[in-house]
Structure 1
Amino acid sequence: MKAINKQRRAALPPQPELLAPKPELLAPAGDLEKLRFAYAYGADAAYIGAGPYSLRQSSGLKSEQMAEAIALARAAGKKLYVALNAYLRNQELAALPLYVSRLAALEPHGLIISDPSLIKLARDYAPNLPLHLSTQVNTTNWQAAEFWRGQGLSRVNLARELSLAEAAEIARCSRIEAEVFIHGAMCISYSGRCLLSNF
Structure 2
Amino acid sequence: MEIKKPELLAPAGDLERLRMAVLYGADAVYLAGTDFGMRAFAGNFSPEGLTGAVAFAHAHGVRVHCTVNTMPRNEEMDRLPAHLEVLEAAGVDAVILADLGAFQLAGRYAPHAARHVSTQAGVTNYEAARAWHDLGASRVILARELSLEEIRVIRDKAPPDLELEAFAHGAMCVSYSGRCLLSNYMTGRDSSRGACAQPC
The ranges of structure 1 where at least 4 consecutive aligned residues each deviate by more than 6 angstroms after the TM superposition are none
Q: Is the 8 A contact 1:49 1:57 kept in 2?
A: no
Percent sequence identity over aligned pairs: 45
Unpaired segments ≥5 residues, structure 1: 1-17
Q: Say whether 1:185 aligns with 2:185.
A: no
Unpaired segments ≥5 residues, structure 2: 182-189, 196-200
Q: What's the CA shift for 1:194?
A: 4.3
1:12 aligned partner: none
AA matched with 2:119: T
Tell me the distance in 2 between the aligned counterparts of 1:34 and 1:134.
21
Q: What's the CA shift for 1:19?
A: 2.6
Q: What's the CA shift for 1:109?
A: 0.6
Q: Is the 8 A contact 2:92 2:113 kept in 1?
A: yes
Q: Say whether 1:160 aligns with 2:159.
A: no
Q: Is the 8 A contact 2:63 2:93 kept in 1?
A: yes
Q: Say whether 1:109 aligns with 2:93.
A: yes
Post-superposition CA distance 1:76-118 (Å, at most 9, x none): 1110100001110011111111111121111111100011111
AA matched with 2:120: Q
Partner SS state of residue 177, structure 2: coil
1:129 aligned partner: 113
- Structure 1's 58 and 122: CA in aligned 2 closer, same or farther, altered over 3 A? same
Partner SS state of residue 172, structure 2: coil
Number of corresponding residues: 182
Partner SS state of residue 185, structure 1: coil
1:89 aligned partner: 73
Partner SS state of residue 144, structure 2: coil
1:9 aligned partner: none
Once superposed, what is the RMSD of the aligned Cα atoms? 1.3
Tell me the distance in 1 between the aligned counterparts of 2:180 and 2:114.
25
Q: Say whether 1:98 aligns with 2:85.
A: no
Tell me the distance in 2 between the aligned counterparts of 1:34 and 1:146.
34
AA matched with 1:79: R
After TM superposition, the score normalised by the length of structure 1 is 0.87
1:37 aligned partner: 20
AA matched with 2:58: R
Higher helix share: 1
Tell me the distance in 2 between the aligned counterparts of 1:66 and 1:57.
16
Q: What's the CA shift for 1:184?
A: 0.9
